[in-house]
Structure formats: structure tokens, C-alpha cells
Amino acid sequence: MGVVGKSLEIAFFGHPDAQFSREYIENLPYASMVLKIGMGPKSLVVHSRTMNQDVHWIAADYTVYVTRYGRIVKTVNLPINRVGLEFRGTDPVWQVQQGLPFDQNIYYEVDLQPGNYFATPIRATFEFDGEETLEILGKTYQTKRYVERFHSEKLYWEDENYFWFDKDTGALRQTLQFVDPKTPAYLTQHVR
């Protein structure tokens, strides 16, 4: 296949995913997560450290993703980076994992670079969106899906984030999150 044919294939189907199996991931000596940005390839990111509630994940290309209760709160070494996220109140993602009631109307602030967007207000609603069976690397999970519909007047940005929680354990199994207004959604899958 020539360069043009390969370019068309990538344009229509995205980049091919990295090949790894559930057995490979479960035998790793450290926690790992599957991550995909837009039509890019699925990648394996590995746990590098935890500070308070922030879990740092690193990819082979040295990009870093920081999650708090599964929500992406920081990124490093990307064209646009989320350099901070602070909730005014409690994150409903944590509350669902704990089996607690949550406020459907939420407010948080994000910091983005480049552009010096600091303490950018985000208003959102968070609510149950149905049940769904997920298949992640050959294993099936029964989940409850929640949708977060958000908007930022300052950035002229509105979108939807999705979070899938295991029906039996409450563990977060998968997310689809927008981190900034220009980058496609991040898909994360928690294998263990």
C-alpha cells in the first residue's frame, strides 16, 4: 500500500492500536491503563506514582496523564495541556464509586496551557445515563453509565464526558473525557 493509501486508511479508520492482551497487562508488575485519544492508537500507560489522590500514568512517548478518581486532572508533554482542575464541592465521580448520593449540578475550574487559561469556570450536570455491557480486552463488565454535560462560557466550549462504573463493585471501568476544547476525547479503560 502506498503513502496515499495508508493516509486514507488512517483518515477513515484511525491509527492501528498497539497490540497487547489482558494476560500481558495482568502480568505486569505495576498497574496499567489503556488510553486512546480520538482516532489515535490505543496505548498502554503505566502507573508511575501516586501523590495524595492523584495517580500519575506515563506512556512510552513520555506523555503523562494524571487522574483523580479516574478523572483526568493534568496532562504533560501534549500540544495542549491541562495543568490543573479544582472542584468547588465534591467530584460526583468519587461519590458514585463510594455509593454516595451526589449533586447533579457541579462546578469546577480548569487551567490550560498554552494560552494562560487559569481558573477557567466549567459548569456541568452529572446524571445516570443507563446501563451498558462493556467488553475490555476480552472481559465483559455490566456497568452503569453516567453523563456529564458541561460548558465554559469563557472558552465557548461545551461537550459531554461519560463514565462507566461496574454495577457490582462501583469501580470505574471506562471513561470518555474531553480535556481541552481542541483535542478529541480521551478514552480510558481500567483493565484490572
CB 191 within 8 A of CB 21: no
The C-alpha angle with vertex 17 and arms to 12 and 13, in degrees rounded to 5, equals 5
Query: Domain spanning 3-190: which superfamily?
Result: YmcC-like (2.40.360.10)
Cell 483493565 maps to which residue? 191
- Report pLDDT digits (tens) over 17-70: 556 777 777 777 788 899 999 999 989 999 999 999 999 999 989 999 999 999
User: Do the Cβ atoms of 141 and 180 come closer than 8 Å?
Assistant: no
Cell matching residue 162: 461519560
pLDDT in the model for residue 17 = 54
Q: What local confidence, expressed as pLDDT, does residue 69 receive?
A: 96
First and final C-alpha spacing in the chain:
38
AA identity, residue 4: V
**75 closest CA partner among 66, 88, 86, 85:** 66
**pTM (2 d.p.):** 0.88
Q: Which residue has the cell 487522574?
A: 67
- Other Cβ atoms less than 10 A from the Cβ of 38: the count is 11
With a cut of 50, which residues of the chain have pLDDT below it? 2-15
The predicted pLDDT at position 12 comes to: 41
Contact 55, 188 (CB under 8 A): no
pLDDT at residue 26 in the model: 77
Is residue 42 within 8 A of residue 34, CB to CB? The reply is yes
- Residue 5 CA to its chain's centroid (Å): 31
